[in-house]
Amino acid sequence: MLVAIEDADVPQLVALMNRAYRGTGDSAGWNSEAGVIAGNRTNAEFFRAELAEKPDGHFLKWVDGPDISGCVWLEPLGDGIWYLGSLATDPERQNNGLGRAVLTAAERWVQARGGKRIRMTVVNVRDTLIAWYERRGYTQTGGIAPFPYDDQRFGTPLRDDLHFVVLEKAV
Q: Could you read off the pLDDT of 86-95 as tens digits, one per residue?
A: 999 999 888 7
Does residue 66 have a pLDDT over 90?
A: no
**Whole-model pTM?**
0.95
Please give the residue that has the higher pLDDT: either 32 or 131: 131
SS3 readout for 16-72: HHHHHHHCCHHHCCCCCCCCCEECCCCCHHHHHHHHHHCCCCEEEEEECCCCEEEEE
Does residue 155 have a pLDDT over 70?
A: yes
Ordered structural domains, the chain, with CATH = 2-170 (3.40.630.30)
Q: Could you read off the pLDDT of 104-115 as tens digits, one per residue?
A: 999 999 999 999
Q: Could you read off the pLDDT of 11-65 as tens digits, one per residue?
A: 999 999 999 999 877 667 777 898 899 999 999 999 999 999 999 999 999 998 8
